[in-house]
Amino acid sequence: MTIWEKMQKVDRRILYAILVVCVCVGLFFPTTIPTDPDPSSKSFYAEVMKLEKGSTVIIQTDWTNSTRGESMGHFENLMRLMMHGDHKFVFYSAADPAAPQVARTVLARIVAERKGQGLREYKVGEDYIDLGFFPNAEATNTTMGSNLRSVWANRKSKTPTGGEVDVWQTPVLKDVKNIGDVDMMIVVTASASIDVAIQRLAQKVPITAMVTGVTGPGVLPFYQSGQVKGLAIGLKGVYDVEYMMVNGINDVEVEGKKVVEWDKVGKVDRVNEGTTFSRGRAYYGTLHVALVLLILAVVMGNVAMFASRRRKGDAV
Amino acid sequence: MNLMQYMLAQQAIEETFWRKAPGQGLILWVVIGLALGTGLCFLLSTVPTNLRKKVIFTFTFLAGLPYVLAFLWPRPISADFTNDVPRNTGEQIGFFINQAVEPVGTLTNILGGFLLGVGIFSLVRVHSIRIKRKQENWGYSLVLLSSFAIMTVVGFWDWRLRAFVDQTGALNVRDNWQPVNYAQDLLFEGIYQQMDSAMFSMIAFFILSAAYRAFRIRSVEATVMMASALILMLNLMGALTYAWGEGINNLVVQTGNPFLMNFKLNVFADWLRSTMQIPAIRAIDFGVGLGALAMGLRLWLGLEKGGVTA
């Protein structure tokens, strides 16, 4: 058996071991990598930063820990951006019963983090509302479009003091009559639930999205058509948003050159408080390693195949 | 607040033809609904197969009708279907149809919740029988049912404490947690969610193995696909994109030829996405959409052999 034939029959456990070692090493050395954010990520950041202070935002959070490598980074960034802009938000899930609890955990962590940094503490019932889970995305989004007041009628929210209040009496929703009164809807998802939201609501409220790398290509046609105003895709999207939180767009300059340039918008401010670089920065180096490994695997697999074929041809 | 008070507080705030505020009679309505629902389920279980098909078709058709009519019937721009007053008969019909969408949506959500219950019933039944008869791998069934019972008890206990006992929001702070809150956190965050992550992360291993063993350049199509994938993967690597872009920038300055800017990795990847990937996905979406429309119509009208007419 030649070396090429041996390479083609390499034990899969060796490949797994290489992956584990390479990925783990990368996680221990978070580095700031210069990048040029994708246009879709720039649109997302610009749209969110464009919101006036204290805007009302609906967040549909349809992810769980199975995709936390990407979605948790997205959700953390989103929470930081919301709190930075003093925006009021409602969050719910229409795809997974476990999703609201996962979102609650992340939200509690970000609230505690900001409190520890001496920033304003976000409070349930005053700054945000937790609406829980709706089992049918199609029916929920359709009804939200036709009558938002009725779809959330009788829903209660906790108050900071532990009591309960009708969600429509809270500072978050008291001025909202229909979905058109909401300034933006943001979908954080790892599934096709974003498609339903776009189909049912894109004509009624500006939608932006934070999706996983797998879901991203399916949402790109909606971004290109303008039905989705901004889109952060996958781990690159997480890092892109963090990078823009640090550098803004057409804002921070290094050696006379803008760090993030984009001719589609003017200056978009950076985020000058709290945590900015976080999970995206921690994982982005590892993504590089994993991708290099993947490309090497494809190349070496093909080289071994061609070399093996050639030897067989020579033998004949 | 106890459960009864909590339920009494759940009163509709806006009345339409489709929805009435039950007021103080809420509990009575709940009891009547429960009795009617139970009776209906019992009746449905006794009807012959041919009649069942008709019942299913009728309910399917009626459930789909408001959505179809709401889509097709002209609607006034920015109408508030609860508070506005229709100006003529056409608008009156439009209001009537659109007001139906919300109760049907709520009903669908309730049915979704009910189906979860049916799923749980089925799961418990199947695995209980397996344990009782000591069938193959019955130990796994025991683990499943035990986990299910523990998760349910701890979950509801935790919820009861937070929703009805804690009146001051003290349980929002970890220091005030009781043992059951820690147990819930351990079960949900510590075990269930971590297993969820672990299962998903295994995909990475399969992808690497597949990339090495199966992704072979055997044809022109495979070569084009691999080249495209390579460019898009390289574009995900910010360090490479940045370094490559800086190199192109310098080259443009040296040669004075702005056309070279098209060879920036991110520009080229963006072009690939915009002109190749997105149109292809859109074409697939159109096909899927047409198929879904045809399938939806067949199901709605009871024409699908695998559906209500089977």
Contact B230 A153 (CB under 8 A): no
State residue B8's pLDDT score.
47
Which three-class secondary structure state does DSSP give residue B120?
Answer: helix
* pLDDT value at residue B114: 82
Per-residue tokens: A112: 């505690």
Q: Residues of A with CB below 8 A from B78's CB?
A: 180
Element of type H or E holding B142: helix B138-160
SS3 category, B80: coil
Distance of alpha carbon A234 from alpha carbon A236, whole angstroms: 5
Report the C-alpha gap between A43 and A228 in whole angstroms: 10
* Tens digits of residue pLDDT in A271-308: 999 999 999 999 999 999 999 999 998 888 888 888 88
Last residue of a domain, one of B165, B184, B215: B215
Domain boundary among the residues B180, B215, B250 is at B215
Q: Residues of A with CB below 8 A from B238's CB?
A: 33-36, 236, 239, 284, 288
Residue B121, amino acid: F
User: Which residues in chain A have their CB less than 8 angstroms from residue B67's CB?
Assistant: 142
Best CA proximity match to A1, nearest among A312, A267, A237: A312
* Helix ranges restricted to H, chain A: 3-8, 12-27, 39-50, 68-84, 99-116, 137-146, 148-151, 193-201, 216-224, 234-247, 279-315
B91 lies in a domain?
Answer: no
Residue A85 Cα, gap to closest chain B Cα (Å):
24
Q: How many folded domains does chain B comprise?
A: 2
pLDDT over 90 (residue A187): yes
Nearest to A189 by CA among A219, A216, A217, A210: A210
CA of residue A203 relative to chain centroid, distance? 22
Query: CA B71 to CA B68: how far, in whole Å?
Result: 5
The residue-averaged pLDDT of A91-97 equals 93
- Gap between the Cα atoms of B268 and B273, Å rounded: 9
Of B116, B169, B196, the CB nearest to A161: B169
Clarify whether residues B194 and B243 are in a common domain: no
pLDDT at residue B11 is higher than 60: no
pTM: 0.85
What are B274-306's pLDDT values in tens digits?
999 999 999 999 999 999 999 999 989 988 776
Distance between CA B208 and CA B220 in Å, rounded? 23
Whole-number Å distance between alpha carbons of B310 and B302: 10
Query: What is the percent of chain B where pLDDT is above 70?
Result: 91
Query: Is the confidence at residue B26, as pLDDT, over 90?
Result: no
Chain A residues in contact with B79 (beta carbon < 8 A) = none
Please give the pLDDT value at position B183.
Answer: 95
**Residue of B102, B161, B174 to mutate when probing chain A, most A C-beta within 10 A:** B102
Task: Note whether A293 contacts B266, CB cutoff 8 Å.
Answer: no
Residue B136 CB neighbour total at 10 angstroms: 8
Task: Please give the structure tokens belonging to residue A5.
Answer: 């034939």
B197 → closest Cβ in A66, A135, A305: A66
d(CA A211, CA A145): 22
Measured between its terminal Cα atoms, the distance across chain A in Å is 16
- Give per-residue pLDDT as tens, A119-160: 999 999 999 999 999 888 988 998 898 888 878 888 889 888
pLDDT at A207 over 90: yes
| Mean pLDDT calculated for residue range A71-95 | 97
For residue A176 the two structure tokens come to: 């909202």
User: Which among B215, B235, B267 is the end of a domain?
Assistant: B215
> Distance of CA A199 to CAs A151, A204, A207, A297, Å?
18, 10, 11, 39
Query: Is residue A55 predicted with pLDDT exceeding 70?
Result: yes
pLDDT band per the 50, 70, 90 thresholds, residue B94: confident
Rounded mean pLDDT, B221-233: 90
Which residue ranges make up each domain of chain A? 1-32+280-316, 36-276
Nearest Cα to Cα of residue A127 among A188, A77, A76, A59: A59
CATH architecture of A36-276: 3-Layer(aba) Sandwich (3.40)
- Min Cα distance B213 → chain A (Å) is 6
SS3 track for A32-86: CCCCCCCHHHHHHHHHHHHCCCCCEEEEEEECCHHHHHHHHHHHHHHHHHHHHCC
> Do A215 and A187 form a contact (C-beta atoms < 8 A)?
no
Q: Would B123 be classed as within a structural domain?
A: no
Residue B24 in this model has a pLDDT that exceeds 80: no
Query: Is B99's pLDDT higher than 90?
Result: no
pLDDT band at A234 (very low <50, low <70, confident <90, very high): very high
- pLDDT one-digit tens code per residue, B34-72: 899 889 888 888 888 888 888 888 888 988 898 899 889
Q: Is residue A114's pLDDT more than 90?
A: yes
* ipTM of predicted assembly, 2 dp: 0.84
Range of the domain at B142: 136-215
The C-alpha atoms of residue A279 and residue A274 are separated, in whole angstroms, by 14
A161 or B129, higher pLDDT: B129
DSSP 8-state symbol, B276: I
Report how far apart, in Å, the C-alpha atoms of B94 and of each of A145, A199, A205, B98 are.
15, 21, 22, 6
Chain B residues in contact with A181 (beta carbon < 8 A): none
| Least Cα separation, residue A74 to chain B (angstroms) | 16
Q: Put residue A274 in one of left, alpha, beta given phi > 0 → left and psi -120 to 50 → alpha.
A: left
Residue A174: count of CB within 10 angstroms of its CB:
12
DSSP annotation of B258 reads G
Mean pLDDT computed over A23-31:
85
Q: How far is A263 from chain B (nearest CA, A)?
A: 14
In the block, which residue shows the tokens 């370094």? B243
CA-based Rg of chain B, rounded to a whole angstrom? 29
pLDDT for B4 beyond 70? no
pLDDT at B259 over 90: yes
B278 and B209 together in one domain: no
What is the per-residue pLDDT across A3-22, written as a single tens digit (0 to 9) for each?
A: 777 777 788 888 889 989 98
pLDDT for B14 equals 61
Average pLDDT, chain A: 91
pLDDT for the residue B307: 54
Phi, psi (deg, nearest 5) at residue A265: -135, 165
Closest chain A CA to residue B98: A146
Query: For residue B186, which residues of chain A lie inside 8 Å, CB to CB?
Result: none
The pLDDT value recorded for residue A314 is 66
Q: What is the pLDDT of residue A276?
A: 94
> In terms of pLDDT, which residue wins out, B172 or A106?
A106
How many of the other CB atoms lie within 10 Å of CB of B115? 12
Over range A247-253, report the average pLDDT.
95
**Min distance A148 CA to chain B CA atoms (Å):** 9
Contact A159 B169 (CB under 8 A): yes
